[in-house]
A and B are shown apart, each in its own frame.
Chain A
């Protein structure tokens, strides 16, 4: 019997992860709730002054969404590692990078997409000017897949370890600095009425690069961390 094609494997992994997420759909709401609560804390900490809030709104939404995604990253490989299905993926005849790409896509669909849908609400709560909202959404659409890809790369290295959320943040933060700079740069340029295409183009270029390289690097990281 010949092995199923790479496409079949990709679809199967994607379908399985989405089904698992659907069966536990209450969990998908948790990152959104987290982002909502963090965004609510800012007016308490800084005061409810509208002008100040609207100036920092885009940055707060951006960082809040990234932090919410960071918290969900530990669940990307750990359940599969604990029940042994991750090792089955490692043994599969299909290229591991492709199967991991399916897992990363499923993670983005179940974690980042709800956050993306909620972020106009967060932006409105913080008085972000309506004209800037499309730029913020464009920046988030480009930044969240980058976060998923880079996060998967880093979290793959920690699979074999004890639970270590702080460590994950420490490892991922340096990687996210350029993403935050370009995304925030686009929004603040739009807020000042300046051209904002260049930082978005940089984000897009980084995303294309990460789409090609990150799944393969993620596969290498997983093999190193699990000594397989």
Chain B
């Protein structure tokens, strides 16, 4: 690796990766960063919601009812992003047996399930006035529901084991099977004629949405990502303490927090 063009940056990354794998280091790191994450989440959420609910114009067809998009779409993106994150961490955990990767994978599952649930609920609240039905068996809705089942399966399998780390590895494997399965489910249900609108925001080419609606949407997407960071760091801290309860560093923290005397 010495021949690499920027060895110092590479070395720093490797060092950071290995430091992160150490539970006490990660515990302290997560504790330091959590306030920043929640502060940034709240600020971006306030800006995004203000832009979305007050500044953005009403839709010419749907009126004000479309404004639920500022919750619905970021949560839908996050439901997929969190799954990809979970599967990625699960792969790292399975291949290199990194304890922290297993914890991050398992602790992101309930957050992802919550995002999926919020997506389904806001979608059905939006669907009632627009389509006249709370639920339809459309491709996107069905895939999202299957995604929720996948999350619940991962969470259920994780908790079915007596040994936490064994459960984490089995559940991570299930999450990886789900990665293969999700596109198959999606394209097989696309067969049915769909009611859900097509992709509006596109990474490549012009988006089919006006800028005054797009920027609050992207701000909300940023906010939900930051929320994931805040929630995940907190959950991972607790899980680490539980897993490492017998170790010296965890004991030192417990003694520090205990009331003296």
Chain B residues with CB under 8 Å of A167's CB are 153, 156-157, 160
Chain B residues with CB under 8 Å of A177's CB are 142, 146, 185, 188-189
Chain A residues with CB under 8 Å of B178's CB are 174
**Bound: A178/B188 CA distance, A:** 6
CB of A175 within 8 A of CB of B170, answer no
- In chain A, what residue has the closest Cβ to B166? A227
B235 → chain A closest CB, angstroms: 22
Q: Which of B142-191 contact A (CB under 8 A)?
A: 142, 146, 149-150, 152-153, 156-157, 160-161, 163, 166-167, 169-170, 173-174, 177-178, 181, 184-185, 188-189, 191
Chain B residues with CB under 8 Å of A105's CB are none
Chain B residues with CB under 8 Å of A3's CB are none
B241 contacts chain A at the CB level, 8 A cutoff? no
Q: Which of A164, A175, A178 contacts B177 (CB 8 A)?
A: A175
Known: A217-B177, A221-B170, A224-B170. A161 touches B161 (CB 8 A): yes
Q: Which of A119-143 contact B (CB under 8 A)?
A: none
B53 contacts chain A at the CB level, 8 A cutoff? no
CB of A175 within 8 A of CB of B181, answer yes
A95 contacts chain B at the CB level, 8 A cutoff? no
Report the interface size class on chain B: 20 to 34
A3 → chain B closest CB, angstroms: 28
A91 → chain B closest CB, angstroms: 19
The interface-forming segment of A36-44, A64-72, A76-84, A152-160 is A152-160
Chain B residues with CB under 8 Å of A13's CB are none
**Bound: A167/B178 CA distance, A:** 15
Known: A171-B153, A174-B153. A221 touches B161 (CB 8 A): no
CB of B157 within 8 A of CB of A174, answer no
Q: Which of A158, A174, A225 contacts B185 (CB 8 A)?
A: A174
A204 contacts chain B at the CB level, 8 A cutoff? no
- In chain B, what residue has the closest Cβ to A202? B188
Known: A174-B146, A174-B150, A174-B178. A160 touches B166 (CB 8 A): yes
B160 → chain A closest CB, angstroms: 4
Query: 26 A-B contacts, Cβ less than 8 Å apart?
Result: A153-B177, A154-B174, A157-B170, A157-B173, A158-B157, A158-B170, A160-B170, A161-B157, A161-B160, A162-B160, A167-B153, A167-B157, A170-B153, A171-B153, A171-B174, A173-B149, A177-B142, A177-B185, A178-B184, A178-B185, A220-B173, A221-B173, A224-B169, A225-B166, A227-B163, A227-B166
B residues in contact (CB < 8 Å) with A? 94, 142, 146, 149-150, 152-153, 156-157, 160-161, 163, 166-167, 169-170, 173-174, 177-178, 181, 184-185, 188-189, 191
Other than A160-B166, A217-B177, A224-B94, give 15 A-B pairs with Cβ distance below 8 A.
A161-B160, A161-B167, A162-B160, A164-B160, A167-B153, A170-B153, A170-B156, A171-B157, A174-B150, A174-B153, A177-B142, A177-B189, A178-B188, A221-B173, A224-B173
Leading 9 A-B pairs by shortest Cβ distance: A161-B160, A171-B153, A178-B188, A174-B146, A157-B170, A170-B153, A167-B156, A181-B188, A174-B149
